Amino acid sequence: MRHARLILAGCLLLGACAAPRLTVRPAPDTGFRIAAPVDAPSAWQLATRGDFARAESRLDSDTLAHGLIDLCHARFTAAEWSFREVLDSGADSAQRSLAYVGLEALLLNQERYASLESLELRAAREHLEYDSTNRFVAEALNRLGRMEIEAGRSKTSRKLKLSPVGVPTVRASANGRPEQDFWLDTGASMNVVTASFARAHGIRIISEKTGAAGTSTRRKVSFRMGVIDSLRLGPLVLRNVPVIILRDRDLTFRLLFITLLKIDAIIGWPVISRFVTTLDYPKRKLTLEAPAPTNENGTRGSGVRGFGPEPRNPPAPEPQNLFFAGQPYVPIAVDSSGPLNFILDTGASVSMITRAGLDKLVSAPALASGLGCIGGAGGGDAGRLKAVRNARFTVAGQELYPVSLSVHELPREGLAVTPDGVLGEDVLRNFRVVVNAADGRLTLEK
């Protein structure tokens, strides 16, 4: 969702059908390509479409394109400089609004809430792509401050369970209350609880204001900002954990008068991204490991500070394949077309492709149609869904076949890069999934 953009669960809950058994093999050592756009856009337009290779070939003095490419390569200082230069320049409103969105994503991901609040004040004054909810959330986060992590050791493992729709969950205790199931959702840009969960677990309201945010189903839901003073996962304790509080009905999914699914609490990207997070689907095990500190030479050691010596000859870092631009993105190839930029969404039970993603495929896919249901915060829709059947899917060095991709449009607002699709549980459940946001890497181990 948005904060209006900065906020909610991008979880797509129910799929059209069960995926067939996949064949997994190492990705072929071959280059991929995507269809050229029918128009002749500038470098910054190519970059916001996620066509970074063509954007880099046209860079010249396109400051916004530089910023978007730097953001996606985790060169945050350079990206921030470029975005601020565009905001201070005489660029047109489209470029300045996009620079604002990119800078907003960067500051939120770095928990730089004072700078984020200043940015939202500026956006309001200058009538950029702005929603008053953005300022409300930034103010609340700035008053709250950064989340703190306490750990008795560098690594914590917990039992992983799967929800009725296959989304991973873990037991955790909020404010010393009995443990409850929390969904683990990389597609949720904030942590989420329901109003009844907040009351039962002593979650403090930190703002009396109410915001309204769009969802993946394009419905609006209202929310308030709260904080979990202490969230415990085994020996690991997180303090000062921000959450948004939704009405129970917005996370309850019914068919006629039958409740199909109810979600009470979601651990989202703000927590998952602070660790090297391993979701071992086959063994049903969650591991959270503090990332190694960055050395003076920019490389990372073997463990957190105080947990062992740094290696004398650290290995060369692996290429990045995970970046954050309002959502965590992973490059994907579909039927040898790519890279396409899919949102990494462990809260989605099915993988999907958008119209933008379809337009990038070199050859037009055959689309099938069938009955299904798409759900998200605020409700769901049932009806006939289109899908790409039997696609060859290449992600993080693995090739999978056959993969079914439902065709579904995602909100574009508040995202610096247009999403080409969603990488969901139907693909991820075949692997031991390692999400290393600090190093910009997704690993899938058979």
8 Å CB contact between 210 and 224: yes
Question: Per the domain annotation, does 158 fall within a domain?
Answer: yes
Q: How many residues does the chain have?
A: 446
Question: Per the domain annotation, does 300 fall within a domain?
Answer: no
Question: Per the domain annotation, does 16 fall within a domain?
Answer: no
The whole model's pTM is what?
0.90
- Residue that terminates a domain, selected from 92, 115, 144: 144
What is the tens place of the pLDDT at every residue in 21-48?
788 888 877 778 999 888 878 999 999 9
Q: How many domains does the chain have?
A: 2
d(Cα 75, Cα 87) in Å, to the nearest integer? Answer: 19
Please report where in the chains the tokens 């493992």 appear, as a residue. Answer: 157
* Of the candidates 109, 389, 415, the residue with the CA atom closest to the CA atom of residue 272: 109
What is the tens place of the pLDDT at every residue in 352-397?
999 999 999 998 888 888 766 666 665 666 667 888 989 999 999 9
Cβ atoms within 10 Å, residue 332 = 28
Cβ atoms within 10 Å, residue 378 = 23
Q: Which residues are bridge partners to 374 per DSSP?
A: 381
pLDDT of 310 reads: 42
Query: Looking at the structure, do residues 104 and 202 belong to the same domain, yes or no?
Result: no
Query: Looking at the structure, do residues 227 and 265 belong to the same domain, yes or no?
Result: yes
**What percentage of the chain exceeds 70 in pLDDT?**
83
- Residue 270: domain span: 148-284
Structure confidence at residue 212 as a pLDDT band (50, 70, 90): confident
More confident residue, 422 or 373: 422
More confident residue, 7 or 321: 321
423: left (phi over 0), alpha (psi -120 to 50) or beta: beta
What is the tens place of the pLDDT at every residue in 161-180?
999 888 999 999 999 999 99
Query: Looking at the structure, do residues 170 and 96 belong to the same domain, yes or no?
Result: no
Residue 126 has pLDDT above 80, yes or no: yes
pLDDT of 298 reads: 43
Q: In this structure, what token pair is assigned to residue 9?
A: 């669960």
Secondary structure of residue 446 in the 3-state scheme = coil
Tell me how far apart the 2 most distant CA atoms of the chain are, in Å. Answer: 63
Residue 19 has pLDDT above 60, yes or no: no
Query: Looking at the structure, do residues 201 and 76 belong to the same domain, yes or no?
Result: no
Question: Per the domain annotation, does 163 fall within a domain?
Answer: yes
- Residue that terminates a domain, selected from 284, 307, 327: 284
Question: Per the domain annotation, does 310 fall within a domain?
Answer: no
**What is the CATH classification number for the domain harbouring 177?**
2.40.70.10
Query: Looking at the structure, do residues 51 and 156 belong to the same domain, yes or no?
Result: no
Question: Per the domain annotation, does 67 fall within a domain?
Answer: yes
Cβ atoms within 10 Å, residue 67 = 28
Query: Looking at the structure, do residues 183 and 267 belong to the same domain, yes or no?
Result: yes
User: For residue 363, what is the DSSP state?
Assistant: S
* Of the candidates 1, 9, 6, the residue with the CA atom closest to the CA atom of residue 253: 9
Query: Looking at the structure, do residues 159 and 261 belong to the same domain, yes or no?
Result: yes
Q: Give the range among 21-30, 66-75, 252-261, 279-288 with minimum mean pLDDT.
A: 252-261
Question: Per the domain annotation, does 97 fall within a domain?
Answer: yes
Residue 305 has pLDDT above 70, yes or no: no
Query: Looking at the structure, do residues 234 and 273 belong to the same domain, yes or no?
Result: yes
Contacts with 144 (C-beta within 8 Å, 6 or more apart), sequence order:
113, 206, 227, 240, 242
Residue 258 has pLDDT above 90, yes or no: no
Q: Give the range among 101-105, 135-139, 352-356, 378-382 with minimum mean pLDDT.
A: 378-382
User: For residue 404, what is the DSSP state?
Assistant: E
